[in-house]
């Protein structure tokens, strides 16, 4: 019996020793992935020494002797602290989450591949000005300097999360930063869901007064007769298409429900309204809960002076903050910048859709989604002249798309010449409210309310491109919240009569514009 007890004790002791060794080894590996803030690193890509000083709240103050060196330092600091966040956001906009998370994210990847935001971001690099291109390159060099340091010094996997979700990390590129801004546009947009919801309600309710009770119209009187949505498709088959769980329900999804697609608060006070006799500015740019928080505080030294405020890892710009002369704040504007088109598919040739000039072939491309622990999925992406064709599961589009039709999306964020990043980087160098307003004209998406103060002036401006809708249409292009524009029933093609031509807002201050629900009109809209 004593011999058995001895062996049991030995086995228990060995198990405890192995557990302790495993715990120590895990701690060692994970700790190697954590950044060392007290070191000197020799890197290539900077013109002079860059100092990153962290205060007692761990906010990095990046002191470079040139603007490029400061952006390099910001890229390095972002990669030190938020590498996992940056890589996950990049994979999201690329439609490559399933390579890490498996089958649960296939629907998300599928929709993002159809939007093709990353290709549009790469095309947008050429649209940036010289200063912005220099900043994007320097920032990417800073991120890649951290990746090189991790590989050269065997610093774990760069982030503790990488031990759980191990995946190769590609070098950072300027297009990645532009793509993350387009991802923010996805996260802050809810108009598509609004329009689908209104159309579904119109189909379900026979009494238009009841519909107005549930989804009230914008204040004021309508300027057009309001037909039933179903009347626009005479003889259409409205049989419901069975759908699985939508991609909006996954925590990794950037497609938010209406209640969570952006918010924020800001206020400014003129000198006459403040006890100190100066201007005041406050901003609460709250977004959804996440760990870590989407925002990252940082200070940069630029040739025009120091700037400090909130950045988003992966984007080399202080999006809300201040310099010695200017303060700026952003809130969601809820500008309606998305238009849905219901496109008729040729019943004799599913590769064609109806246009004003007859049938036309979809523009198509093949895309392969690699899935962890599963076989890959091959998609056929389709575009019409109006935009990408979306899956029926996206915000329940199948519920409002009659048989023999597909839904396509026109959206300002789908611009291949997106200069939003040039606007954001230029804003950090602005010295007056007027300079900031001039730079904001480069801003495309996501649309924001920009609140500005300098030493003497306050201003509020709606920034971002808005679709130029047809002023000759019965609706007169008004931004009514829930009006259905009148039009005779069509043979099978209905389109939202809001032309997706980019139109920059005039140089005046705006308050938030009410949301448009759904506009239906005869095609074409010219």
What would the DSSP string read from start to end of 305-333?
Answer: EEEEEEE-TT--S-SEEEESS-EEEEEE-
Quickly state the pLDDT bin for 169 (edges 50, 70, 90): very high
The H or E element that residue 110 is part of is helix 106-115
- For residue 360, what are the β-bridge partners? 353
pLDDT of residue 184: 95
Q: What is the mean pLDDT of residues 415-423?
A: 97
Angular region, 139: left φ>0, alpha ψ -120 to 50, beta rest: alpha
Quickly state the pLDDT bin for 291 (edges 50, 70, 90): confident
Closest CA to 240 of 397, 348, 389, 390: 397
Which residues contact residue 316 at a Cβ distance below 8 angstroms, ignoring those fewer than 6 apart?
71, 74, 75, 135, 136, 138, 139, 177, 425
Higher pLDDT, 219 or 85: 85
Q: What is the mean pLDDT of residues 469-477?
A: 51
**What's the 3-state SS for 140-192?**
HHHHHHHHHHHHHCCCCCCCHHHHCCCCCCCCCCHHHHHHHHHHHHHHCCCHH
The phi, psi pair for 300, rounded to 5°, reads -125, 140
CB 320 within 8 A of CB 285: yes
Q: What angle do CA 124, 127, 131 make, to 5 degrees?
A: 115
Kindly report, residue by residue over 68-77, the tens digit of the pLDDT: 999 999 999 9
pLDDT of residue 190: 77
Q: What is the mean pLDDT of residues 45-63?
A: 95
Q: What angle do CA 361, 367, 368 make, to 5 degrees?
A: 150
pLDDT of residue 504: 33
Quickly state the pLDDT bin for 315 (edges 50, 70, 90): very high
Quickly state the pLDDT bin for 246 (edges 50, 70, 90): low
* pLDDT of 297 over the 90 cut: yes
* pLDDT of 235 over the 90 cut: no
What is the rounded (10 degree) CA torsion for 419, 424, 425, 428?
150
Per-residue CA distances from 509 to 263, 288, 440 (Å)? 19, 28, 12
Euclidean distance between CA atoms 479 and 470, whole angstroms: 12
pLDDT of residue 244: 47
Instruction: Kindly give the residue spans of alpha helices, DSSP state H, lying in 230-307.
Output: none
Q: What is the mean pLDDT of residues 126-138?
A: 98
Quickly state the pLDDT bin for 356 (edges 50, 70, 90): confident
Closest CA to 92 of 118, 119, 67, 129: 118
- Of 36-50, 194-208, 439-453, the least confident: 194-208
Q: What is the mean pLDDT of residues 124-128?
A: 98
Count the neighbouring beta carbons within 10 Å of the beta carbon of residue 35.
19
pLDDT of residue 222: 44
pLDDT of residue 476: 41
* pLDDT of 265 over the 50 cut: yes
pLDDT of residue 178: 98
The phi, psi pair for 172, rounded to 5°, reads -75, 145
Per-residue CA distances from 149 to 44, 152, 158, 278 (Å)? 11, 5, 9, 46
Quickly state the pLDDT bin for 213 (edges 50, 70, 90): confident
Angular region, 179: left φ>0, alpha ψ -120 to 50, beta rest: alpha
pLDDT of residue 118: 98
CB 94 within 8 A of CB 115: no
CB 329 within 8 A of CB 266: yes
* pLDDT of 125 over the 90 cut: yes
Euclidean distance between CA atoms 57 and 54, whole angstroms: 8
DSSP state of 486: P
Angular region, 235: left φ>0, alpha ψ -120 to 50, beta rest: left
The phi, psi pair for 301, rounded to 5°, reads -95, 115
Integer Rg of the chain from CA: 26
Strand ranges, E, within 318-424: 320-323, 327-332, 338-344, 352-355, 358-361, 363-369, 377-383, 389-390, 405-411
Q: What is the mean pLDDT of residues 311-326?
A: 97
Q: Distance of alpha carbon 471 from its chain centroid, rounded? A: 30
Looking at the chain, the whole-number percentage of residues with pLDDT higher than 70 is: 79
CB 58 within 8 A of CB 149: no
pLDDT of residue 209: 72
CB 144 within 8 A of CB 72: no
Mean pLDDT of the chain, nearest integer: 82
Euclidean distance between CA atoms 158 and 163, whole angstroms: 9
* pLDDT of 229 over the 50 cut: yes
Which structural domains are found in the chain, ordered by start? 32-187 (1.10.439.10)
pLDDT of residue 487: 28
* pLDDT of 185 over the 50 cut: yes
pLDDT of residue 523: 29
Token couple for 213: 């009770």
The phi, psi pair for 9, rounded to 5°, reads -65, -40
Higher pLDDT, 189 or 411: 411
* pLDDT of 400 over the 70 cut: yes
Euclidean distance between CA atoms 88 and 121, whole angstroms: 17
* pLDDT of 336 over the 80 cut: yes
pLDDT of residue 478: 36
Token couple for 237: 């088959």
Euclidean distance between CA atoms 183 and 175, whole angstroms: 12
- Of 112-126, 147-161, 306-320, 435-449, the least confident: 147-161
pLDDT of residue 259: 65
pLDDT of residue 106: 95
Quickly state the pLDDT bin for 387 (edges 50, 70, 90): very high
Euclidean distance between CA atoms 351 and 345, whole angstroms: 8
- Tell me which range, 6-10, 267-271, 465-469, is most confidently predicted by mean pLDDT: 267-271
């Amino acid at each position: 019996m004593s011999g058995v007890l001895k062996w049991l004790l030995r086995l228990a002791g060995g198990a405890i020793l192995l557990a302790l060794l495993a715990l120590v080894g895990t701690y060692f590996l994970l700790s190697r992935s954590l950044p060392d803030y007290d070191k000197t690193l020799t890197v290539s890509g900077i013109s002079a020494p860059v100092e990153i000083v962290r205060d007692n709240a761990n906010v990095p103050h990046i002191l470079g002797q040139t603007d490029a060196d400061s952006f390099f330092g910001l890229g390095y600091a972002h990669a030190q602290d938020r590498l996992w966040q940056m890589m996950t956001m990049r994979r999201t906009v690329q439609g490559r989450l399933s390579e890490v998370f498996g089958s649960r994210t296939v629907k998300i990847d599928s929709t993002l591949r159809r939007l093709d935001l990353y290709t549009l971001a790469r095309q947008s690099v050429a649209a940036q000005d010289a200063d912005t291109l220099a900043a994007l390159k320097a920032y990417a060099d800073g991120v890649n300097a951290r990746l090189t340091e991790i590989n050269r010094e065997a610093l774990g996997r760069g982030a503790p999360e990488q031990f759980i979700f191990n995946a190769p990390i590609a070098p950072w590129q300027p297009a990645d930063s532009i793509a993350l801004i387009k991802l923010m546009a996805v996260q802050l947009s809810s108009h598509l869901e609004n329009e689908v919801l209104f159309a579904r309600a119109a189909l379900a309710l026979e009494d238009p007064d009841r519909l107005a009770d549930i989804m009230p119209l914008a204040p004021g009187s309508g300027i057009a007769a309001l037909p039933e949505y179903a009347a626009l498709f005479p003889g259409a088959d409205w049989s419901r298409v069975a759908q699985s769980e939508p991609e909006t329900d996954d925590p990794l999804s950037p497609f938010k429900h209406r209640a969570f697609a952006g918010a924020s608060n800001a206020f400014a006070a003129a000198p006459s309204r403040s006890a100190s006799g100066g201007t005041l500015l406050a901003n609460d740019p709250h977004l959804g809960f996440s760990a870590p928080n989407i925002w990252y505080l940082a200070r940069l030294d630029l040739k025009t002076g120091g700037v400090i405020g909130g950045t988003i890892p992966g984007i080399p710009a202080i999006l809300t903050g201040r310099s010695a002369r200017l303060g700026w704040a952003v809130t969601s504007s809820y500008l309606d910048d998305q238009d849905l088109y219901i496109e008729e598919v040729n019943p004799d040739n599913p590769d064609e859709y109806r246009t004003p000039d007859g049938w036309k072939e979809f523009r198509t491309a093949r895309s392969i989604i690699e899935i962890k622990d599963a076989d890959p999925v091959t998609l056929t992406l389709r575009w019409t002249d109006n935009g990408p064709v979306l899956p029926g599961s996206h915000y329940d589009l199948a519920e409002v798309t009659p048989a023999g039709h597909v839904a396509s999306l026109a959206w300002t964020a789908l611009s291949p010449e997106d200069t939003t990043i040039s606007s954001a980087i230029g804003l950090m160098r602005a010295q007056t409210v007027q300079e900031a307003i001039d730079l904001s004209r480069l801003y495309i998406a996501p649309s924001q309310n920009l609140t500005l103060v300098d030493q003497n002036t306050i201003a509020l401006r709606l920034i971002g491109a808005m679709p130029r809708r047809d002023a000759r249409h019965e609706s007169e292009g008004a931004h009514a919240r829930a009006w259905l524009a009148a039009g005779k029933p069509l043979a099978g093609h209905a389109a939202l009569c809001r032309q997706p031509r980019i139109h920059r807002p005039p140089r005046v201050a705006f308050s938030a514009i009410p949301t448009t629900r759904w506009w239906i009109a005869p095609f074409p809209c010219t």
